[in-house]
Amino acid sequence: MSDFELEYFADKVHVHRWPQDSPIWDDSTKKHLDESINKNSQKKHITIRDDYLKIENFEFNSLQKIGISVPFFKEESTMILEAKFGELSAHVHITTKSKDYIDIFNTLTLWSKSFSKS
């Protein structure tokens, strides 16, 4: 796959250390993520390019175990994946409630299928 790009705004993003036996994140990293992403209620700009994810100014790579869903009875789509954040391992949850959540879901699904084959 090449030249894939998707940009959208997420309503809710949560990033945490994963797996649990990975290196512990220092307090400043956790605080920075909490203030900028996890506990910030503003929409977050999401950029996905091939095997790269950017949330605002935070860059993630080594994407794997990508799951995308539309929960029953909710007008939203959610993507959950594992990634590297610098040298740290992370679990990333991204939810969008935009009116085009189905289009975002479909695009992410196609991307994740082709991404997992590369």
pLDDT for 1 equals: 45
Rounded average pLDDT over 96-114: 93
Question: In this structure, what are the phi and psi dihedrals at residue 110, rounded to the nearest 5 degrees?
Answer: -60, -45
Q: Whole domain around residue 82: which residue ranges?
A: 5-117
Tell me how many domains the chain contains: 1
Measured from the Cβ of residue 35, the count of other Cβ atoms closer than 10 Å reads 10
CATH number for the domain including 50?
2.30.29.30
Strand pairing report for 88-96 and 12-17: antiparallel
Per the CB < 8 A criterion, the answer to whether 43 and 10 are in contact is: yes
pLDDT for 3 equals: 81
Does the predicted model carry a pTM greater than 0.85? yes
**Which residues lie across from 54 on neighbouring strands?**
47, 59
Amino acid at 51: D
How far apart, in Å, are the Cα atoms of 7 and each of 4, 18, 90? Answer: 10, 25, 21
Cα–Cα distance between 105 and 72 in angstroms, integer? 14
Amino acid at 7: E
Q: Indicate whether 2 pLDDT > 90.
A: no
Digit-coded pLDDT (tens) for 11-36: 999 999 999 899 999 999 999 999 99
